[in-house]
Amino acid sequence: MRIWFSVILIFYAVLNWLIGRQIYDLLKINKFAYWPIFVIIAISPLLGRLSLISILDKLGNYWLIFFYFATFVAILGIFIKNKPFFIGCYLLIFLAIFYGALHAKSIKVEPYNLAIPKKANDLRVVMLSDIHIDKQKSAGYVAKMVQDINALNPDMVFLPGDIFDDRDINSLKKEQETLKGIKTKYGVYGVLGNHEYYGGNLSESLAIFKEVNIQILRDEVIEVAGVYIVGREDASQKSRKGLVEILQNVDKTKPIILLDHQPVALDEAQNNGVDLQLSGHTHRGQFFPNQLITKRIYEVDYGYLAKDNLQVIVSSGYGTWGPPVRIGTQSEIIDLKINFDK
């Protein structure tokens, strides 16, 4: 593990040197002023993650996406020497990030209408994946989210993972009263994503979720309004149970809705009588061209898929992770109407 981390750091350092050298050659400014500033910016993602200087956390997030695109430009610069071309490339990167930062704040309501051929009363479900509540989110972020949910007047709300994403539990604590404002007929249900495990404060966050009436399902199933709601531990957890064990006491003539953060194990869900799986995690790549990668990794990385009697919806997410930027993808809240047999 340490060896791989060292390799990644060296690789990151080399790429940053290529980017820094190229920008320096384009700007031709005082090297004693330029390089210290560049080095601080380049290591800001690491310093920010270590919480050494809070403002570097935000700077680091923006540097990550700049670094992502600038890497291609810097490597191209090894083979091509054309100053106006590369100045244009960097201007395009800045414009793309500026657009993506504005676009990420635009939340689209994505409607779905599904039929499940089992008996129950019709439901209107609101689903938000990958909210990523953290201290970097803008003031009013959670309040707007609650407003967006309540505007749809849901019977149930499903939160399939990565609700909270911060080492500082206070960023969740300060939103407690706001989260209590979610209004539903039958309640709010969620599962854990991979990011809930990263902060080292899982027990505290679970206590807060309980306090604000968000019921987190961890390899368990409950029945609400004649429908089974199944919540799985995140696929990153080796201890998570199989669906055969979780569903052993379930009446499979009734509707079964599965919340699983990552859109994986679809065959397992299909073979165990699940009617609908709701997932997130992928962000649909969040910014171009990552959606080309997620499309190859997952059977369905975004949108709707039908596998015989199993239906799957994967959301691109309500929020963002890392860079607060979306390019070629859309932040969304899913407005899901489920029709059952009467």
pLDDT digits over 245-259, tens only? Answer: 999 999 999 999 999
Residue range 69-93: average pLDDT? 95
Burial pattern 11-49, b for ≥16 Cβ within 10 A else e, equals ebeebbebbbebbeeeeeeeeeeeeeebeebbbbbebbe
Number of domains in the chain: 2
For CA atoms 234, 239, 243, 249, the dihedral sign is negative
CA distance 307 to 8: 39
Q: How are the residues of the chain apportioned to helix, strand and coil, as percentages rounded to the nearest 5?
A: 40, 20, 35
pLDDT at 168 > cutoff 90: no
- Looking at the structure, tell me whether residues 175 and 300 fall in a common domain: yes
Q: Please tell me the predicted confidence (pLDDT) of residue 53.
A: 66
Last residue of a domain, one of 66, 87, 103: 103
CA distance 127 to 154: 10
Segments forming the whole domain that contains residue 251: 108-341
- Looking at the structure, tell me whether residues 261 and 295 fall in a common domain: yes
pLDDT at 69 > cutoff 80: yes
DSSP symbols for 137-166: SPTTHHHHHHHHHHHT--SEEEEES--B--
- Looking at the structure, tell me whether residues 81 and 123 fall in a common domain: no
Alpha-carbon Rg for the chain in angstroms: 22
- Looking at the structure, tell me whether residues 118 and 264 fall in a common domain: yes
Q: Please tell me the predicted confidence (pLDDT) of residue 47.
A: 82
Helix (H) or strand (E) holding 54: helix 54-79
Contact between 128 and 145 under an 8 Å Cβ cutoff? The reply is: yes
pLDDT at 22 > cutoff 80: yes
Within its chain, how far is the Cα of 133 from the centroid? Answer: 10
- Looking at the structure, tell me whether residues 53 and 149 fall in a common domain: no
The tokens describing 73, both together, are 């430009």
pLDDT at 284 > cutoff 90: yes
pLDDT at 51 > cutoff 90: no
Q: Residues 101-121: pLDDT tens digits?
A: 999 999 999 999 999 999 999
What is the CATH number for 117?
Answer: 3.60.21.10
- Looking at the structure, tell me whether residues 86 and 120 fall in a common domain: no
- Looking at the structure, tell me whether residues 47 and 122 fall in a common domain: no
Contact between 263 and 299 under an 8 Å Cβ cutoff? The reply is: yes
pTM of the full structure: 0.93
CA distance 227 to 213: 19
Last residue of a domain, one of 68, 103, 138: 103
Closest CA to 335 of 173, 109, 168: 109
Residue range 284-307: average pLDDT? 96
- Looking at the structure, tell me whether residues 222 and 253 fall in a common domain: yes
Of the chain, the percentage scoring pLDDT greater than 90 comes to: 88
Residue range 74-92: average pLDDT? 94
- Looking at the structure, tell me whether residues 149 and 189 fall in a common domain: yes
Q: Please tell me the predicted confidence (pLDDT) of residue 200.
A: 83
